[in-house]
Amino acid sequence: MKLRKASALAAAVLALSLTATACGSNDDDEGSGGGGSGDGDSLTIGIKFDQPGLGLKTPEGDYTGFDVDVATYIAGKLGVSPENIEWVEAPSAERENLLKRGDVDFIVASYSITDERKEQVSFAGPYFMAHQDLLMRAGEGVSNPDEINDLTLCSVTGSTSAQHVHDDFAPDAQLQEFGTYSECLTGLESGAVDALTTDDSILAGYAAQEQNQGKFELAGLELSDEPYGVGIPHGDTELQEQINDAIREMEEDGSWQEAIERNFGPANYEAEEAPEITETS
């Protein structure tokens, strides 16, 4: 496990102040971001910034969503308080790079566990099971996968969603990629695309937003199983075990269910029970 201490600059300032005087203040080793206070460990965690219900950065600078709650709970079990967490945006296309470069300690960002991804990074969990679906304009839904062939699908760069639908269900469907789900939603509203495809949990979060209510609806197609895992550096079995233990505790003490109801309840989204943990060393 790679917990980040206070920055080198803050440590140097503290050392100089202790040399100069025996009554120095602790103010200089307080990080201005999420880097911690120097009195304990801190964590840098990757999340999504634009996924309502899962990982969202609000205009006020707060972070909300189920993934944020899971990450905060895990951090607490690792001895890190919420104020010592630095949140880093983890776009789908950058998640592996963030872990391989060491820019984050772990990632909780609707990160589906796949064999291909496990060649580059490791996972703990899963902590949630989603299913791929379509979000469409209200009244324009489809009733079966064959009808998807006539649609232009949108998903985000680095996500497997649109390609999965194209390869397994609708080879004639047109694919359109944008950098974020919010851009896809704008394209859906304007008519540039016919459907946004990704996990039903993500789609439900968008559909439930006040400004979107009545505009969009889920097709109700379970096109795949998407087990969400916590992305960690490849081969870090110690961190994997610690996170798995934290996930189990979150489920057992009721915090997991509380987070589900808090984040998905307003969307009338019925999540499955917590999945069995499969990612072990």
CATH number at residue 114: 3.40.190.10
| Cα separation values, 153 from 117, 142, 150, 174, 195, Å | 23, 13, 10, 6, 5
b/e code 239-277 from CB counts within 10 Å (16+ = b) = bbebbbebbeebbeeebbeebbeebbebbebebeebbeb
Residues 256 and 140 in one domain: no
Domain enclosing residue 17, as ranges: 8-38
Maximum mean pLDDT: which of 156-160, 173-177, 254-258: 254-258
- Which DSSP helix (H) or strand (E) runs through 272? none
Judgement on whether residues 25 and 72 belong to the same structural domain of the protein: no
Number of domains in the chain: 3
This prediction's pTM: 0.75
65/116 same-domain check: yes
194 and 80 within one domain: no
Ranges 4-18, 53-67, 111-125, 213-227: which has the least confidence:
4-18
pLDDT in tens, 97-155: 999 999 999 999 999 999 999 999 999 999 999 998 999 999 998 988 889 999 999 98
Tell me if 280 is assigned to some domain: no
